[in-house]
Amino acid sequence: MQRLIITGKKNLNGKIIISGSKNASLPILAATILSDKKIILRNVPLVKDVFTMVELLNFIGSKITINKLKKQIIIFPKKKLKSFTAPYRLLKTMRAGILVLGPILSRFKKAKVSLPGGCAIGARPVDLHISVLRQLGANIKIKNGYIVASASKGLKGGQINIPKVSVGATESAILSSVFTSKDTTIKNCAIEPEIINLINFLKSLGVRINIKKRIIKVYKTRESLKETNFEIMFDRIEAGTYMIAGALTAKKLIVDKINPKIIQKEINILKKMGVKIKTEKSKIIIFASNNIKKINVKTSPYPGFPTDLQAQIMVLMLKAKGQSSIQENIFENRFMHVQELNRMGASIQIKKNKAYINGGFELSGAEVMATDLRASVSLVLAGLIAKNQTTINRVYHLDRGYENLEKKLNNCNAKIVRKNA
């Protein structure tokens, strides 16, 4: 098991190129099951979750080549799968593995998928995914830790109502509706940019899809899908993470290869906190501020403030004068990093789904433990501004979603060393 050792109080200075989006790549990789044609994906992030999804697709019968130099994945899906089962050993660390359930069932009329693992940040129940498929006529049972699904006559289409806005359930609904017997209307959808990226990918295959507000209509596909060469969008959570790093401790930090319009909410909040930001066509330039202002933030579905940046913005709040707060409205157990930040000298209290952050306390390096992907990166940010050294254990969480994090930061004057524990 590896750990990171961070020497704090180093001012960042330089440019960080943002990788492709993990959260866009995973559903798009799952969608390749629907096709038997050659697919090329560009700008793919080289992170653990992507490698796990590729391993899963290989296991069920796809033939996949990864070009790490070009950051491309080339997929040659098979006309027949060698397995309809997505096993526990591949899903135990990656919740997104459940996204293969709909495509396998849709194309081959049966599927067996392990109940997933992933970050320990709340129940994240699979009930919504199961509800989506049942509304399309699937027969589903939970047996020995697996979701066993069948649709002997194929999925029927029609109307899907998602009771709670959910990115995963929306993705499942879209992926399950491509080969239904009639057109499908999906209501109360999530509209995250990663979902728009998935829709654009399916359109490049020849699928007809319309979106209006939170309603998505998928027209039944009568013909076989086309070949495609498609670019994955930038990772807006990675971009937001490095923007906050810049706000914490940068002389000048350029966050490049992004679309600032997609992360306007995050930019506006940082500006309200007193961060100096210059926006250009495909980049953002950030300068640290010694006068961070307190703020109250609520996480919510896009276009609101993303839950995946909640832990990171909390570290910036520690530099503010006065008390800030964060209300977590997406996941019920996403303050596990608070205990570790308090060990470093922070003053944060939790009441139900709200955290109160008292600014003005200098952080001191300590040995801390990552509990999930975004919590782990918040500890990295804290380590950057803490005096002395910070040691972060269980950094495998970090590797699931951040490509070359210490290399990118070290190239901008950080001092981060990875060691075997």
Residue 328's nearest CA partner among 344, 345, 304 is 304
How many C-beta neighbours within 10 Å does residue 227 have? 12
Q: Determine the 3-state secondary structure of 107 from DSSP.
A: helix
Task: State the DSSP code for 34.
Answer: G
Q: Which of 16, 119, 248, 250 is catalytic?
A: 119
| Exposure b/e, 282-305, CB count within 10 A at least 16 = b | ebbbbebbeebbbbebebbbbeeb
d(CA 314, CA 297): 10
Question: In 110-227, where do the E strands start and end?
Answer: 110-114, 139-143, 146-150, 158-161, 184-187, 209-212, 215-218
User: What is the Cα gyration radius of the chain?
Assistant: 22
Q: Rounded to 5 degrees, what angle do the CA atoms 377, 97, 100 make?
A: 145
- Write down the H helix ranges in 76-118: 88-91, 101-108
Beta-carbon count within 10 A of 163 CB: 11
- Active-site residue flag, 119: yes
Residue 229, H or E segment? strand 228-231
Check if the beta carbon of residue 259 is closer than 8 Å to that of residue 19.
Answer: no
Decide if 125 contacts 162 (C-beta within 8 A): no
Q: Give the E-state strand segments of 237-322 in sequence order.
A: 250-256, 276-279, 283-287, 296-298
- Catalytic positions are 119
